[in-house]
Amino acid sequence: MRTFLLLLSALAFVGCQNAPITGRSQFIFVDESEVASMSASEFSKMKKLPGDKRLAKVKEIGLRIVAAARRDDKAGVLPPSSKWEFAIIDDKTPNAFAMPGGKIGFNSGMFQYAPTDDDIAVILGHEVSHVICRHGSERVSQSMGVAIAASIADEATKNSSTKTRSAWMAAVGVGAQYGILLPFSRSHESEADHLGLLFMARAGYNPDAAPAFWDRFSKIGGARPPEFLSTHPSDSTRVKQLQGWLPEARAQMPRQP
Ligand SMILES: [Zn+2]
């Protein structure tokens, strides 16, 4: 028990950081480079379409957004341009993702909902923002925190009745799922929407495309891919939030010559 408490306080000590721009305090105690190397190995196993003609476009837009985001990368999280890897994933599900370390996947099924450069910039702005905010590492840290909390509860109730023990474990488990993990996911998505909007505008794309894209995307049927699950901001909340951030984003746009 004592060891666990010591471990927890040590983790809290090293773990406090702040997200760029929003300043939200974060609890991260895993090494970003370790999460990046695990991600790279997952990414290498995915089925990609290296010959797809649209890849050059995705890469160009992605790198412009990375360059625009770098100004706010105070912690030096974003890899150098040469280290980013963009791939079109052979998957009809409309989805996209970014992994720590700069691996970006854009599903082939996403293009039909993102016909213009501005639409692709909406998606890539959101994904690059997950990377700069270290959401991947934060999520891993949260899961590890939950596992540690469960061990503490287990240790603390070792001599209690089975009933007390299971109640404790349920409290930790349920509390973790509804009290910590889900709201964090929602805040990650909102943060990625907010920063993504600023970065796409700064890279020269029209931020008005963002609320329009999400509104359109919310109307497609079928199962939602993981990046767009129901734990995420509801569609109307998302569109309203984006509209609210538009003036801030427009102010980031490069001045016309
Ligand atoms: Zn996201």
Query: Of residues 32, 85, 127, 227, which has the active-site annotation?
Result: 127
Distance of CA 131 from the midpoint of ligand 1 (Å): 10
Q: Is the pLDDT of residue 221 over 70?
A: no
227 is catalytic: no
The answer, yes or no, to whether residue 59 has pLDDT greater than 70, is yes
pLDDT band at 229 (very low <50, low <70, confident <90, very high): low
48-105-252 Cα angle (round to 5): 145
Q: Report the alpha-carbon distance of residue 184 to residue 232 in Å, rounded.
A: 10
Residue 97 burial (CB count, 10 A): 20
If you average pLDDT over every residue of the chain, what do you get?
83
How deeply is 61 buried, as exposed, middle or buried, from its count of CB atoms within 10 A (0-12, 13-18, 19+)? Answer: buried
pLDDT at 95 over 60: yes
pLDDT for res 232: 59
Q: pLDDT band at 181, cuts 50/70/90? A: very low
Ligand 1 centroid–CA 119 distance in Å is: 15
Dihedral angle sign, alpha carbons of residues 75, 186, 96, 71: negative
What's the predicted TM-score (pTM) here? Answer: 0.81
Burial of 182 (0-12, 13-18, 19+ CB in 10 A): middle
Side chain identity, residue 91: D
Q: What is the CA(95)–ligand 1 centre distance, in A?
A: 10
Tokens matching residue 223: 């199962």
Centre of ligand 1 to C-alpha 128, Å, is: 9
Distance, C-alpha 246 to centroid of its chain: 21
Span from the CA of 140 to the centroid of ligand 1 (angstroms): 15
Span 92-121, mean pLDDT? 92
Say how many Å lie between the CA of residue 11 and the centre of ligand 1: 26
Residue 226 is predicted with a pLDDT of: 55
